[in-house]
């Protein structure tokens, strides 16, 4: 398949989209991380963090925004952005956080991630925030390489609980002036 960026429609996720959001969240998270983690930790994380009740709270949070990337009407991936109190690390609440940028397996390598990253940069500028940041698991080498290609650089770390397993996220930032 070829790059499909020109065919993508990026639109805000609505509360009525909750079932689709939950399904893509669980599918992409499982596809990416199940091989590296215990079934118990995966199940615990998905129930607590990617359950309908939690995702509904996140959708209702005025400091968070979700966007779907659709190709021919099919959801190819999504983006979750945070500001202020919704940021996963309060030390960086003055910037825009990409908490999730998930792409379905069959759409990886087709430009969906790049299109969602472009949307994040646009929102950073629209919100007049100084920089963009994200946390990526230190063992997720494909994602780290993707972010580096997008111009992100490491600047810190923080802990991330996956079930009962405390893992380390590398914090990376993008600033158009870097």
The residues assigned a catalytic role are 147
> What angle (nearest 5°) sits at the alpha carbon of residue 41, between those of residues 169 and 23?
85
- Does residue 151 come out as left (phi exceeding 0), alpha (psi in the -120 to 50 range) or beta? left
User: Who's near 11: CB < 8 A, 6+ residues apart?
Assistant: 67, 68, 70
- In 3D space, the residue among 28, 24, 17 whose CA is nearest the CA of residue 56 turns out to be 17
> Whole-angstrom Cα distance, residue 171 to residue 178?
16
Task: Give the span between the Cα atoms of 21 and 50, in whole angstroms.
Answer: 9
Q: Exposed/middle/buried for 132, CB within 10 Å: 0-12, 13-18, 19+? A: buried
């Amino acid at each position: 398949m070829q790059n499909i960026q020109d065919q993508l429609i990026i639109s805000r996720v609505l509360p009525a989209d909750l079932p689709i959001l939950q399904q893509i969240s669980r599918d992409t998270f499982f596809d990416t991380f199940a091989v590296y983690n215990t079934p118990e930790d995966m199940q615990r994380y998905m129930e607590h963090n990617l359950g309908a009740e939690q995702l509904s709270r996140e959708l209702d949070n005025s400091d968070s925004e979700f966007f779907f990337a659709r190709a021919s009407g099919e959801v190819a991936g999504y983006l979750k952005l945070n500001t202020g109190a919704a940021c996963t690390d309060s030390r960086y609440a003055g910037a825009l956080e990409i908490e999730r940028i998930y792409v379905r397996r069959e759409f990886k390598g087709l430009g969906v991630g790049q299109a969602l990253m472009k949307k994040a940069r646009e929102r950073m500028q629209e919100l007049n925030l100084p920089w963009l940041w994200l946390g990526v698991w230190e063992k997720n080498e494909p994602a780290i390489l993707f972010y580096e290609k997008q111009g992100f650089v490491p600047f810190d770390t923080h802990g991330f609980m996956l079930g009962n397993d405390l893992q380390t996220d590398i914090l990376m930032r993008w600033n158009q002036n870097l």
